[in-house]
Structure 1
């Protein structure tokens, strides 16, 4: 069983091993249905659905009797007795791209829908052990971007670390006998599979990681046959390149056809246009080495600003074009840094404690920076003062229980911020604005992220589910601006004259493969 968008939207398919005819089990749903999981007895399928009532659904293996079990949750995993599902709050398109941090784990009673909280730390992609003792998951280490794997008792309790190193470790799945925990990792250079022996009752790691090599440059999403002799997995190829298209600011519509700025196997993220509209800065987030690059808007010249093993992300030009702010883990944790456009003058700007400092945004006059600390409200600092002289000013909360506003764009008149609120329980994003004068927030949409202002301080662009949208902050009217199915348009950035829209185009190809584990071990 697997998810595919071969029919246009994501559906769940069933296919016999060795067969060629796939059966679409959710063809009657116009919305995306993903993340299917078989119950151990093979009678039921749990999955995530984006139908009008979003959440975790359960259906019979024949696709009959579909019902919503919970309004929250992603990546369901069945308990061995089929009585519960464990789910995480956050979903993700790639392990380097996360939106809800920290992400809690919940256990859901299949009969009643009652939920119990397992952990409030960061935890995604859970996997229930075959004898029901423990749940494996991966998450982000506090204060940094390191991805590691843990296990916790099925009834909740203290987590036991399985990995703790610089490698990107994710996608944990128990072997059917409960003796090993398999996972995906780039510790060998490319994203491939590893396994480590773990005591299923105590969570104690009892061996060193062993390579389980597949003939793939990027492998993910492990699934075992019941006897443990075969392993199915996904081989993925993904690129994310920079494109541009003419834009009419009056009608807020694109004109003509897109043109490629970068090509090949790049992973271009978070593009930001220079004040003179000549250069774009971007991060290579998602590649083995995540650095900051400059490229001319006509792609004639490219220059690499950072070149090391640290993760450098989300670069932003200063309004005067002299500096570029970004966040990096080069100090041992994520902090805000800046660098000159010629690659000199690397400087750490924040020295925070607690959660990571991410997503720097310049004020229009260049006198202030706002940044976000995970699980805290954003802080504003002055750009002309060293850290010991700073008194960071924190934005007020929207509501006592919802402190996950992620600012992304500062309006040209300096009066407002645009960003998105994350509802960690429902697993949803909402585009919001913040007004400095009234110190109040306003919700514009019920979906989306990464909004950018047009210069009139009223209209915005944002992206969601592979499309770029437009919203009027006064009328709240939303409409699609750009889509490129089956590819995904993301990360909108406008030229200062608003005549050119820059964005990233993510292209993904994936196939399902089968590995005979007995033959590999010979």
Structure 2
């Protein structure tokens, strides 16, 4: 994890998982994720595609009485944050709200669901005594409210500036605080905070600057969460100790934890454990809409591959030997590791020059992300001197003289052109922007604008900083969602309601009209893609989470009396 706070494996006598009993709750094929557990620990709910679409499933803690609660009535039940949870008294299960779909309450014993809270409510959590609840909406700044247990008498207690987010709200065990995760999730810059139910000034608890999620208090001293480590490996289970103000990894081994929830007394946890598989696939660009059967595996000699980028006659992609992603190149049937993840993990695709001779990527040095350039064979690594702290991906100018990046300097967030041969950065736009892509024609830079909930608009600027106009196109925040055709005549972009409902579209830059390229049906998560040099195919990554739901019963000595 990035940041200044201490973070290291916890000593065994302070590890809340010491002596815990782990029980695999699910024993069937398919994806299982986003578990929740009832306040009394007798039921668990989770998402699964066991019946085809992703529904919310309910199961007793002893493994009996598996039932499909939603039965396709809300379509794909997945959501970008907590997708499911229990009401304060455990009699109902809630399904998350997203744009175009209301947050709903579902009776535990079956029956018709009902809409709950306002139309933009995203996720909700009840206080330990069941008398109050906290929720936030998916509107800009994630407005956060406290209300009575039935949703009445809402009171706004927190709202951020657009682009800054409040997620995973949960009450402390005494009901005196609300913990939440705050920051910029698209760039994995999140930390644990707390605020009183009456509002006021929030208090930052960690300074890790990592992709913290699923904050889960188990007692007044310990808050568990999931996150990747500083090298990009994981995600693992971690704990924040309020007495020592330190965080450390508490899970062991190679199992990856993606979500977590706890009972009212904190003695029992429900967690999703995954063994993910991510590889590259391709689909043709044609005059008609292509379907799932047209998708082909893109064969590579490495077991894991993601974040493709073409340059010259080579494909560059991310892969790992030890959990931290490094950079590989592939040409003429041979793969070469050109940057080892153990020397500095890469969290986003490398930028590749048009001729394929040079690559650029950010590495964390002296507390900030600094751009580095090296030749495509892995030699000649050098930093580009700059006071810009980078965010997201970068892109070369067609002539190889500049690299456009998103980041911040002393004047704040924006887009910058970094001169490859040295010199001062040139600011071309100001705002919380990400992932600029430079047109092969050199006349246009497309980037992601301010994020609202999980969506961000595609915006454009000329290389001299003059704003340019694009149609209204919104893409998912995580991943790199836009690439130009090699001749610069069109922009391919990826859109969908969730990370796993993505399809490709093509914007004709002369007419500013879009047409659909694909109608895909896989449930795999898609994040990043590129277009082959001949413009004939899209190569993209797909993540399949081979997952299970675990129950973790904490030892009596680790749980509160």
Q: Using structure 1 for the length normalisation, give the TM-score.
A: 0.79
Q: Which residue of 2 aligns with 1:244?
A: 282
How far, CA to CA, are the matches of 2:220 and 2:211 in structure 1?
23
Cα distance, 1:482 vs structure 2: 5.7
2:104 and 2:386 map into 1 onto residues whose CA distance is 44
1:259 and 2:303 are equivalent in the alignment = no
Question: Match of 1:96?
Answer: none
Match of 1:400 in 2: none
User: Hey, what does 2:540 align to over in structure 1?
Assistant: 503
Partner of 1:225: 263
Matched, 1:234 2:272: yes
Aligned: 1:372 with 2:399: no
Distance 1:302 1:180, change over 3 A: same
Q: What is residue 430 of structure 1 aligned with on the other side? A: 457
In the alignment, is residue 67 of structure 1 matched against residue 106 of structure 2? Answer: no
Counterpart Cα distance in 1 of 2:145 and 2:321: 31
Of 443, 458, 462 in structure 1, the residue corresponding to residue 490 of structure 2 is: 458
Are 1:483 and 1:489, in contact at CA under 8 Å, matched by a contact in 2?
no
Q: What pairs with 1:335-346 in structure 2 (closer than 5 Å)?
A: 335-346=370-381
CA contact (8 A) 2:278 2:542 kept: yes
SS in 1 for 2:275: strand
Q: 2:35 corresponds to which residue? A: none
Secondary structure in structure 2 of the residue aligned to 1:308: helix
CA offsets 1:41-73 (integer angstroms, 9 cap, x no match): 12444332346x245444554463421534546
Distance 2:172 2:295 in 1: 50
Correspondence for 2:52 among 8, 30, 33: 8
Matches within 5 A, 1:263-278: 266=304, 268-275=305-312, 277=313
Cα distance change on mapping 1:60 and 1:301 into 2, 3 Å: same
Residue in structure 2 matched with residue 85 of structure 1 by the alignment: 134
Give CA deviations for 1:408-434 in whole Å, capped at 9, x if unaligned: 43222222233333443x442333444
Aligned residues: 487
Match of 1:182 in 2: 224
User: Conserved in 1, the CA contact under 8 Å of 2:205 and 2:245?
Assistant: no
Residue 95 of structure 1 is matched in structure 2 by: none
- TM-score, normalised to structure 2, is 0.74
What is the SS of the residue equivalent to 2:95? strand
Matched, 1:155 2:193: no
1:282 to 289, 306, 317: 317
1:130: which partner in 2?
173
User: Counterparts in 2 of 1:210-221, with a 5 A limit?
Assistant: 213=251, 217-221=255-259
1:39 aligned residue: 87
**2:24 aligned partner:** none
Asked if 1:332 is matched to 2:363, the reply is no
Task: Please list every run of 5 or more consecutive structure 2 residues that lacks an aligned counterpart in the other structure.
Answer: 1-44
Please give the per-residue CA displacement for 1:141-199, whole angstroms capped at 9, x wherever unaligned.
Answer: 99x96654343333344555544469875432011x5342123356698644344543x
CA distance in 2, matches of 1:420, 1:158: 30
Instruction: Give me the whole-angstrom Cα distance separating, in 1, the residues matched to 2:377 and 2:307.
Output: 19
Q: Which moved more, 1:186-195 or 1:438-447?
A: 186-195
Distance of aligned partners of 1:335 and 1:141 in 2 relative to their CA distance in 1, 3 Å threshold: farther
Offset at residue 518 of structure 1 (A): 2.8
